[in-house]
Structure formats: structure tokens, C-alpha cells
Amino acid sequence: DGGITQSPKYLFRKEGQNVTLSCEQNLNHDAMYWYRQDPGQGLRLIYYSQIVNDFQKGDIAEGYSVSREKKESFPLTVTSAQKNPTAFYLCASRKNDRGNEQFFGPGTRLTVL
């Protein structure tokens, strides 16, 4: 089955700790994206990557970092510099030559205690 996987579904961390969220896709998509959703809000863009070894900051990149060493993988690190890290994190991917639809993973709920 092709798709986007995010693990784990729920993640708990102590304040001050860095944590890395996983995102893997086997759709052969070129571009990958990270969004964050807070209660009652839409999704906001954290980072995106259109090709391997290249990525750009989104609207709320402060306190986050990413890497794109493989086409299939786009991990997101939430650092201790992120002031309000508790949120629902969503990863998405898109094929460059097939319209602009993005397909989303199931999300990771991060709670910082």
C-alpha cells in the first residue's frame, strides 16, 4: 500500500527536550511539507522541501528544524526553543507533475509536559 506514515501517533516529552517526528512516504512524491494545527485553527506551514537536500522555512519555522536526506523521508525536530510545542503535527507530500494536491499523513499529537 502506498501512503504517508507518521510515527508515533501520540508523543509525550518533558519541557526542554528536543524531539523528532517521523514522516515517511512511498508515493514517489517530490515535495514534502510539515504543518501544525492548534485547537480551533487551520493548519500552518512550518517547513517544506521540494527536492532532496533542499528545504525552505514556512510561516512558523522558529524553534523547528528539518532534514531531507532521502526522497522518502522528511523528519521534523521540535527543539527546546519552540515556545508552544504542544500541537497536532501533520506531514504531507505532493508529486510535482500531478497537480497541486497534497496528501496528508495521519498526524502526530505532541504533548510537552
Partner 1 sequence: DQQVKQNSPSLSVQEGRISILNCDYTNSMFDYFLWYKKYPAEGPTFLISISSIKDKNEDGRFTVFLNKSAKHLSLHIVPSQPGDSAVYFCAASGSNSGYALNFGKGTSLLVTP
111 is an interface residue for partner 1 by CB under 8 A: no
Cell numbers for 90, please give them: 501533520
43 is an interface residue for partner 1 by CB under 8 A: yes
- If one counts every other C-beta atom within 10 angstroms of the C-beta of residue 99, the result is 8
Q: Please list, in sequence order, all residues whose beta carbon lies within 8 angstroms of the beta carbon of residue 104, skipping any fewer than 6 positions away.
A: 4, 90, 91, 92
| Complex with partner 1: residue 82 or 102, whichever CB lies closer | 102
Query: Footprint of partner 1 on this chain (CB under 8 A)?
Result: 4, 31, 33, 35, 40-45, 48, 50, 56, 58, 88, 90, 92, 94, 99-107, 109
